[in-house]
């Protein structure tokens, strides 16, 4: 009997080991899950957007789902290309865990206008779907489908946060530490990244960021002054007075402050493309100005005598975009040039005296 029991015990042990191994392996991901494929609307469709139908559903984008070999918790990101019909520059339309995404007329129109496309002009953009499981699983991306849109002109309301602090009264923003009076930062892509310009007249001034024009929903400060935001953290200190570009990333709870001085540069200016002509900030009007002689040619606005931060005009409509086209000066003369970064969209004017 001993000779019969030993093989039985060995087999039982092997069975137990194999069973345990299978439990520990978990789901096996398919090596070729396939990419999502957009099934509707058909590529090449065209849409004219109107304010009268703003709340209507414009389109419902649908796609096939990759097969990962198990019930994968997939998040889909719908992306729109912005540059030359490709995705070298792109923006996210939205995310979902379903295999379809509905867009309203106003939702698509706001995305197009926010991206810098001109109203009442037909534009064609590519759209694709990105499937994401987690960092250890390769993302799958659909082939793009192209759609043509004609957006309408509308004043886009960007998400905002606010910058209350002890600098406000001295800097032209009424009451110190009052969020209702504080300057705003704006999220141009509605993506938790905010930017804007704030004048701080007094060195060593303290401030915070708030989500509302009140203190009811909390605030962000910086405990430890390490560039990381903390809910209810210590006051943030502006060491020197100046006109600050503030960038806030609420996704990663980080921020940065860049003190800026502005000037004009270009072959239309006295310094051509070699030297800036400095502008002066007016805290009452909250705009930068310079009165100067210009020749027929081109110019741009730039900060701190460097190209790291500069603005041009992509559409020739008086609104500014970072790094955009040179601004044309059609006729030589003496001009008052104004730069307004206190509101969005950022704007400028050239007035011949």
**pLDDT surpassing 70 at residue 252:** yes
47 occurs within a structural domain: yes
239 shares a domain with 268: no
- pLDDT given for residue 57 in this prediction: 96
- Kindly state whether residues 60 and 99 are assigned to the same domain: yes
**At residue 92, does pLDDT exceed 70?**
yes
Q: Are residues 136 and 42 in the same domain?
A: yes
- State the pLDDT confidence band at 55, using cuts at 50, 70 and 90: very high
Count: domains in the chain? 3
User: How far are the Cα atoms of 91, 279, 287, 303, 308 from residue 266, in angstroms, in the given order?
Assistant: 31, 14, 20, 14, 16
Other C-beta atoms lying within 10 Å of the C-beta of residue 44: 10
Domain containing residue 103: CATH number: 2.60.40.10
Q: Can you tell me the mean pLDDT for 307-328?
A: 91
Q: Tell me the pLDDT tens digit for each residue of 190-229.
A: 889 999 999 999 999 999 999 999 999 989 999 999 999 9
Q: Could you tell me if residue 299 is inside a domain?
A: yes
Q: Does residue 345 register a pLDDT over 50?
A: yes
217 and 243 in a single domain? The answer is: yes
Residue entry with tokens 């912005």:
82
* pLDDT computed for residue 283 by the predictor: 95
The pLDDT of residue 115 = 82
- The answer to whether position 79 is within a domain reads yes
56 and 128, same domain (yes or no): yes
Residue 186, domain extent: 160-260
Residues 335 and 303 in one domain: yes
CA distance 142 to 80: 12
Q: Which residues contact 45 (CB under 8 A, 6 or more apart)?
A: 59, 147, 148
pTM for the structure as a whole: 0.65
Q: Is the pLDDT of residue 1 over 50?
A: no
What digits encode the pLDDT tens for the residues 2-51? 344 444 443 444 444 444 444 444 454 555 778 899 999 999 999 999 99
268 and 345 inside one domain = yes
Q: What is the pLDDT of residues 134-144, one digit of tens each?
A: 877 889 999 99
How far apart are alpha carbons 335 and 264 in whole angstroms?
Answer: 12
Same structural domain, 222 and 243: yes
Which of 217, 239, 260 is at the close of a domain?
260
Q: Locate 85 and state its tokens.
A: 């019909």
Pick from 223, 255, 259, 224: which is nearest to 239 by CA? 259
104 contacts 58 by C-beta, under 8 angstroms: yes
pLDDT for 9 equals 41
Same structural domain, 77 and 172: no
Q: Are residues 55 and 136 in the same domain?
A: yes
In a domain, 275, yes or no: yes
CATH classification of the domain holding 280: 2.60.40.3620
Structural domain contains residue 28: no
Q: Give 157's strand partners.
A: none
> What letter does residue 319 receive in the DSSP assignment?
B
Look at residue 31 in the predicted model and tell me its pLDDT: 57
pLDDT computed for residue 4 by the predictor: 40
- End residue of a domain, out of 128, 150, 172: 150
Question: Can you tell me the mean pLDDT for 65-73?
Answer: 82
């Amino acid at each position: 009997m001993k000779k019969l029991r030993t093989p039985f015990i060995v087999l039982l042990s092997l069975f137990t080991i194999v069973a345990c191994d299978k439990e520990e392996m978990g789901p096996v991901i398919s090596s070729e899950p396939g990419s999502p494929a957009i099934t509707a609307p058909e590529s090449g469709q065209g849409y004219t957007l109107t304010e009268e139908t703003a709340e209507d559903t414009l389109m419902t984008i649908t796609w096939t789902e990759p097969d990962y070999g198990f019930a994968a918790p997939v998040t889909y990101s719908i992306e729109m290309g912005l540059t030359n019909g490709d995705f070298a520059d792109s923006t996210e339309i939205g995310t979902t865990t379903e295999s379809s995404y509905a867009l309203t007329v106003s939702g698509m129109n706001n995305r197009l206008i926010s991206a810098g496309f001109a109203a009442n002009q037909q534009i064609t953009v590519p759209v694709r779907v990105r499937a994401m499981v987690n960092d250890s699983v390769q993302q799958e991306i659909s082939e793009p489908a192209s759609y043509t849109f004609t957006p309408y002109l509308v004043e886009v309301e960007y998400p905002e946060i606010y910058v209350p602090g002890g600098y406000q009264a001295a800097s032209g923003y009424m009451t110190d530490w009052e969020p209702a009076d504080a300057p705003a930062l704006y999220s141009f892509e509605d993506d938790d990244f905010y930017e804007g310009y704030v004048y701080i007249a007094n060195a060593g001034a303290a401030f915070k960021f708030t989500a509302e024009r009140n203190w009811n929903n909390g605030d962000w400060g910086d405990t430890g002054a390490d560039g990381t935001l903390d809910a209810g953290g210590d006051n943030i200190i502006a060491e020197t007075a100046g006109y600050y570009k503030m960038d806030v990333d609420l996704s990663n709870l980080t921020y940065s402050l860049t003190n800026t001085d502005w000037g004009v540069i270009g072959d239309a200016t006295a310094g051509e493309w070699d030297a800036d002509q400095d502008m002066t900030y007016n805290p009452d009007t909250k705009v930068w100005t310079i009165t100067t002689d210009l020749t027929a040619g081109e110019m741009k606005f730039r900060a701190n005598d460097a190209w790291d931060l500069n603005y041009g005009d992509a559409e020739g409509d008086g609104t500014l975009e970072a790094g955009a086209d040179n601004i044309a000066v059609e006729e030589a003369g003496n001009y008052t040039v104004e730069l307004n970064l206190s509101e969005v969209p950022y704007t400028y004017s050239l007035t011949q005296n």
